[in-house]
Each structure stands twice: as structure tokens, then as C-alpha cells.
């Protein structure tokens, strides 16, 4: 067993037990606020025996901080962001408040799944539930038959069942050996949602697995911009960028037909492709989420062709539309580069397996 430290919210140092082989898929065990990692120790050992790498977190414990759910939420997000792969997060009771809030906005980027055991209901958890877009197992009665059964109903009712998240609900109220039943549920969920064997996508199977396969190709990130018919700037985050030809100078991006920016890009004679540097992660998030003025408080200026170019980008390409090709649920926008401004001393913002990354130099 190794003990390592992660930097949590406000620089707080969080100590974490790490057990198992580093090549095995990871499970992050999160004790509820006020409890220590020993509560998960037996489960941790059983998970390691079944071929999992286990990261068992010691939550911040000073009395004043125990009740501060927001600090625990930020701690969990900080740990997940620092981990090399997306673990399944397993937690119990009020730990579920922390995990649901931490994973509601963009959980699929941070974790491969979520297991909530006997979570008491809270307004915040119910409010987070509709935004949970990752495989989730809700277990009731994991510790005692009556625990949380009624309270979890409001949470379960708010979950987006059958939509973006894949939610499963288990009731262990009548289990004979509760510990064994709970562990069995955890292992079975992990085996299906985070298999130890190589993953496989076959034509016709779920798009999520295909997305995971595609996500094994590391990319940079761009923001593709254009002016709409009224002359207002528009844009979206896209990592489907490729250089196509040097002579003539061509590049491409693939745009989802469902995106709000798609009609603007379909009509645009000119568009911009801004390749992001490491400091532009907030802009990447903003141009990938719905709502709000994406250009507010951002340094941008029209280029020679009028397209919005984001200041401080690694490269900004100004393109004239060369061609547009329909391709399934996306279209391929090919642009002829009329101008490129770049600042090669900056580090790129990278994306790999659903997470932002940065360059490592040995």
C-alpha cells in the first residue's frame, strides 16, 4: 500500500491510500465527511483481490470543515482532476452529497461511474441528480434495512433514468448478509461498467463505448468561431481539428448537426479556428456549455475577414470556406487558411480520454 498526497481545495493536503496494481481500473472510495478511510478498508481489500486499483481518500477532518460540503466537493474534484485515469467513485451516506455535487456538472469527464450507498436525501443532491450524466448505481439498505429507503426516493425520482446517465437502483432491504450483498453489487456494477478486459465496440453497440475508443486519440482543443447573420460572434469548442493540405492550405473541423452553432457555421463564408493554450481551459469549458454569453470578458477581436479571433491563443487560423461534407450526425467543414497568427512559446491545452491534459517533459 502506498500513501500519496493530493492537493485539495485551498491547497489543503489530502492523504490517500493507494492499493492494487496501477494497471488495473481504479475505484475511488470516498468516506462521508466526518469519517476516516478505515470505514472502507475491508471493501478496499476485497476490491483489490477482484482486480481493482483502489484509491481510499481521507477526507479533511477538522471540526469546522466537516460540515462544509462545498470544500469536500472541491477536494473530490481536485483529486479526480489529478488522477491519471477516470475511476468509478463509490461513497456512502452523506458522501453521496459530496459526490453528486462534484460530478453533476461534467462528471463523465472526471469519473467512469458513481456508486451511492444509502444516501440521505438533501435539496442539493436532488438538484444535482438531473445533471448526472455518468453510469450510476444507487444502493438502498446497504448498511441497514430501513436506511434511506424512503429518503432516496426523491433523489431516484430526479435522476435522468434512460437519458444521458445510465442509472441503476438496487434495494438490499431483504438481504441476508448485508456486507456480502453490498460488495456483490459493487463488483457486479464494476465488472459491467468498468471491465478489466480490453473494451470492445462493435457496430450497433452503444455510442458511449465508441466515444471512449475515439477518446484514446490524444488531441489539442480548438474554439471554432464565426459571425452569425446579425454580425454577432458565435463559437464552440471542438477537438475534431485536422490539418488537411499544405498546398493549397486546408484544414477541417467536424461539427455536430445538433449543436446550436452548426447553422451559423454552415452559412459562414469565413470561420476562425483558435487552437487553445493551457491557460484557456476556462474558455474551452465555456464554449462547450450551454447558456451565457461565451465571448463576455474574453479578449477577442475581429480578424481581417471579420471572424472573431481569441486573444492569447496558441494559433488563430482565419479560413475561407472551401467545402462542406455531410458525415453522419456531423458535417465536415473544410477551410482554406487565409491567415494564421501563432505564439509558439505557449504550451498547448490537450485532451485525452475525456480529460484535459498538459504536456509532460521527462
Using the rule CB under 6 A, which residue among 254, 283, 309, 333 binds ligand FMN?
254
Question: Least separation, in Å, of the C-beta of 286 and ligand FMN?
Answer: 10
Distance CA 286, CA 274 (A): 14
By the rule CB under 6 A, 281 interacts with ligand FMN = no
How far is the C-alpha of 166 from the C-alpha of 253, rounded, in Å?
Answer: 30
Of 117, 138, 182, 236, which one interacts with ligand FMN (CB under 6 A)? 236
Residue 19 β-bridge partners: 54
b/e code 203-224 from CB counts within 10 Å (16+ = b): eeeeeeeeebeebeeebebbbb
Binding residues for ligand FMN, rule CB under 6 A, total 17
Question: Which of these ranges, 150-158, 173-181, 231-239, 314-322, lies near ligand FMN under the rule CB under 6 A?
Answer: 231-239
In the complex, least distance from residue 346 CB atom to ligand FMN, rounded to whole angstroms: 18
Which of 186, 213, 134, 200 has the alpha carbon at shortest distance from 27?
186
For residue 143, which of 195, 204, 93 has the smallest C-alpha distance? 93
Q: Lay out the site mask for ligand FMN across 260-279 (x = CB under 6 A, - = otherwise).
A: xx------------------
| Choice between 179 and 323, CB closer to ligand FMN | 323
Cβ proximity to ligand FMN, 185 vs 219, nearer residue: 219
- Which residue's C-alpha cell is 475525456? 354
**333 near ligand FMN (CB under 6 A):** no
The interface region with ligand FMN, picked from 22-30, 66-74, 253-261, 266-274 by CB under 6 A, is 253-261
Residues 126, 154: Cα–Cα separation, whole Å: 7
Residue 187 CA to residue 52 CA, distance in Å, equals 10
In the complex, the residues that contact ligand FMN under the rule CB under 6 A are 221, 236-240, 254-256, 259-261, 287-290, 351
Amino acid at each position: 500500500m502506498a500513501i500519496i498526497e493530493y492537493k485539495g481545495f485551498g491547497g489543503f493536503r489530502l492523504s490517500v491510500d493507494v492499493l492494487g496494481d496501477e494497471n488495473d481500473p481504479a475505484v475511488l472510495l470516498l468516506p462521508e465527511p466526518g469519517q476516516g478511510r478505515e470505514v472502507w478498508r475491508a471493501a478496499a481489500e476485497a476490491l483489490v483481490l477482484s482486480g481493482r486499483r483502489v484509491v481510499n481518500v481521507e477526507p479533511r477532518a477538522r471540526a469546522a470543515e466537516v460540515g462544509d460540503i462545498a470544500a469536500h466537493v472541491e477536494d473530490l474534484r481536485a483529486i479526480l482532476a489529478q488522477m491519471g485515469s477516470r475511476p468509478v467513485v463509490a461513497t456512502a451516506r452523506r458522501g453521496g452529497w459530496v459526490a453528486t455535487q462534484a460530478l453533476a456538472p461534467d462528471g463523465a469527464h472526471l469519473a467512469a461511474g458513481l456508486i451511492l450507498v444509502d444516501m440521505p436525501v438533501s435539496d442539493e443532491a436532488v438538484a444535482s441528480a438531473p445533471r448526472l450524466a455518468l453510469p450510476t448505481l444507487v444502493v438502498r439498505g446497504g448498511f441497514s434495512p430501513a436506511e434511506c429507503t424512503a429518503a432516496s426516493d426523491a433523489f431516484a425520482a430526479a435522476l435522468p433514468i434512460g437519458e444521458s446517465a445510465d442509472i441503476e437502483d438496487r434495494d438490499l432491504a431483504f438481504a441476508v448478509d448485508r456486507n456480502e450483498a453490498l460488495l456483490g453489487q459493487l463488483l457486479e456494477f464494476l465488472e459491467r461498467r468498468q471491465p478489466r478486459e480490453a473494451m470492445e465496440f462493435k457496430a450497433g453497440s452503444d455510442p458511449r463505448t465508441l466515444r471512449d475508443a475515439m477518446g484514446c486519440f490524444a488531441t489539442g482543443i480548438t474554439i471554432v468561431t464565426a459571425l452569425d447573420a446579425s454580425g454577432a460572434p458565435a463559437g464552440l469548442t471542438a477537438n475534431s481539428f485536422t490539418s488537411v493540405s499544405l498546398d493549397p492550405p486546408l484544414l477541417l473541423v467536424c461539427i455536430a448537426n445538433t449543436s446550436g452553432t452548426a447553422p451559423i457555421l454552415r452559412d459562414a463564408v469565413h470561420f476562425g479556428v483558435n487552437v487553445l493554450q493551457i491557460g484557456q481551459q476556462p474558455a474551452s469549458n465555456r464554449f462547450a456549455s450551454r447558456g451565457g454569453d461565451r465571448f463576455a470578458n474574453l479578449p477577442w477581436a475581429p480578424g481581417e475577414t471579420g471572424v472573431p479571433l481569441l486573444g492569447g491563443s496558441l494559433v488563430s487560423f482565419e479560413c475561407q470556406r472551401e467545402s462542406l461534407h455531410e458525415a453522419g450526425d456531423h458535417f465536415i467543414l473544410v477551410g482554406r487558411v487565409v491567415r494564421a497568427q501563432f505564439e509558439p512559446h505557449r504550451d498547448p491545452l490537450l485532451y485525452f480520454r475525456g480529460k484535459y491534459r498538459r504536456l509532460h517533459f521527462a
